[in-house]
């Protein structure tokens, strides 16, 4: 009996230790200790891509686009929770392709367009608004994006300008890609666009490939912005950025710009966000208490689509001009 009591007390001590280790949430830690991980993408398979070739004149750019978040947590075939999209699921690809095709409708004309499906982490991850959880769960999707980019980069004509664009979780992927690429690849970059996500002070300190855009025509730069109805609605997990530029007038100060005749877009230099007035954004429904609640997160690739389309062309032309000038000045 005494021996059984000792064993019971020892077991209780182990349970108590686990409970304290996870802040009184041992049941949650155990419940989430196993998860289902979908099969990795094979980027040699055309199923893994949405592509367009609309550069008939050969004077455009190669656009690499990274889609945002489309899935919520779901249960895998083994009965465990899955925090990632399944790129081999036709339904998951169908949902991601909605955004990819819509982005291609204005990014592809005059360019080539390449958008990979990847195992993006679910909305439930972002709803935690916990940077540690997000950082941990985005490692796998960021690896997918880097692998997709490496495949794309190894097969494209590297004399062509490169444009990297991503929205929301895809914006995070753009930041990670700028950390991932080599100096040689960076020299091919006309511009990188981080739509609806942040570039932090730490990102600026640790990545020499991130150079904030200062105007409409500079190249090799990063464009970043987030839109809110008032600065009080900015969500730090998404928009606590160290940089911002207004895509309507391409200014980094608080000079207001008019969009579509009725919308005023003004950059807040203090908060590094765009404040849009005269725009209801009623087409974007609130999602829990995270997005479209005072902020207008879902508008980022669409509200400014004409501005972005024009700017991609402008920066591509400036990049080509600089390359031709360099070749003329320093012939091989």
pLDDT tens, 184-225?
Answer: 999 999 999 999 999 999 999 999 999 999 999 999 999 999
Number of domains in the chain: 1
The predicted-structure confidence for 296-309, as pLDDT tens digits, reads as follows 999 999 999 999 99
Domain membership flag for residue 3: no
CA dihedral 91, 95, 96, 102 (to 10 degrees): 140
Domain membership flag for residue 4: no
Q: Where are the alpha helices (DSSP H) in the chain?
A: 2-21, 26-31, 90-107, 123-127, 131-137, 139-155, 169-180, 183-186, 201-206, 236-239, 300-303, 305-329
Whether residue 321 contacts residue 327, with contact meaning beta carbons closer than 8 Å, is answered with: no
Domain containing residue 312: 31-329
CA-CA distance, 37 to 45, in Å (whole number)?
20
Percent of the chain past pLDDT 70, that is, above it, reads 88
Domain membership flag for residue 265: yes
CA-CA distance, 194 to 169, in Å (whole number)?
10
Q: Which two tokens stand for residue 40?
A: 């990795």
The pLDDT of residue 23? 35
Say whether pLDDT at 327 is over 50. no
CA distance readout (Å), 277 to 56, 108, 296: 39, 30, 11
Nearest CA among 196, 308, 189, 192 for reference residue 247: 308
Q: Which two tokens stand for residue 299?
A: 């508008």
CA angle in degrees (0–180, nearest 5) for 145-149-154: 155
Domain membership flag for residue 25: no
Say whether pLDDT at 30 is over 50. no
Nearest CA among 216, 240, 229, 177 for reference residue 310: 216
Say whether pLDDT at 24 is over 70. no
Residue 22's pLDDT band, with cuts at 50, 70 and 90, is: very low
Question: In a 3-state reduction of DSSP, which class is residue 124?
Answer: helix
DSSP category for residue 2: H
Domain membership flag for residue 10: no
The pLDDT of residue 34? 85
The predicted-structure confidence for 245-283, as pLDDT tens digits, reads as follows 999 999 999 999 999 999 999 999 999 999 999 999 999
Domain membership flag for residue 21: no
Domain membership flag for residue 305: yes
The pLDDT of residue 44? 98
Residue by residue, DSSP assigns 172-206 as HHHHHHHHHS-HHHHTTEEEEEEESS---HHHHHH
Residue 325's pLDDT band, with cuts at 50, 70 and 90, is: low
Domain membership flag for residue 199: yes
Say whether pLDDT at 161 is over 70. yes
Q: Which two tokens stand for residue 164?
A: 């990297």
Q: Which domain CATH number covers 199? A: 3.40.50
């Amino acid at each position: 009996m005494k021996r059984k009591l000792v064993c019971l007390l020892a077991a209780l001590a182990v349970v108590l230790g686990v409970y304290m280790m996870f802040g009184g949430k041992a049941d949650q830690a155990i419940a989430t200790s196993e998860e289902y991980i979908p099969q990795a993408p094979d980027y040699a398979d055309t199923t893994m891509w949405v592509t367009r070739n609309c550069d008939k004149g050969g004077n455009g750019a190669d656009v690499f686009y990274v889609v945002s978040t489309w899935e919520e947590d779901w249960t895998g075939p083994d009965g465990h929770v899955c925090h990632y999209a399944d790129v081999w699921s036709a339904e998951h690809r169908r949902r991601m392709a909605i955004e990819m095709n819509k982005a291609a409708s204005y990014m592809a004309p005059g360019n080539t367009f390449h958008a990979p499906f990847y195992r993006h982490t679910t909305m439930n991850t972002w709803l935690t608004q916990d940077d540690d959880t997000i950082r941990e769960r985005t490692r796998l999707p960021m690896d997918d994006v880097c692998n997709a980019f490496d495949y794309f980069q190894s097969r494209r004509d590297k004399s062509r300008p490169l444009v990297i664009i991503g929205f929301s979780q895809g914006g995070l992927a753009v930041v990670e890609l700028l950390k991932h690429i080599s100096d040689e690849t960076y020299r091919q970059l006309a511009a990188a666009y981080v739509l609806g996500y942040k570039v932090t002070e730490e990102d600026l300190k640790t990545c020499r490939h991130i150079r904030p855009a200062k105007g409409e025509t500079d190249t090799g730069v990063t464009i970043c912005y987030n839109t809110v109805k008032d600065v009080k609605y900015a969500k730090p997990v998404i928009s606590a950025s160290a940089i911002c530029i207004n895509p309507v007038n391409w200014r980094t100060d608080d000079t207001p710009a008019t969009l579509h005749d009725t919308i005023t877009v003004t950059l807040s230099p203090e908060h590094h966000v765009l404040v849009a007035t005269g725009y209801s954004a009623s087409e974007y429904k609130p999602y829990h208490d995270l997005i479209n609640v005072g902020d207008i997160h879902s508008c980022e690739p669409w509200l400014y689509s004409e501005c972005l389309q024009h700017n991609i062309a402008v920066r591509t032309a400036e990049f080509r001009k600089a390359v031709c000038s360099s070749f003329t000045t320093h012939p091989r």
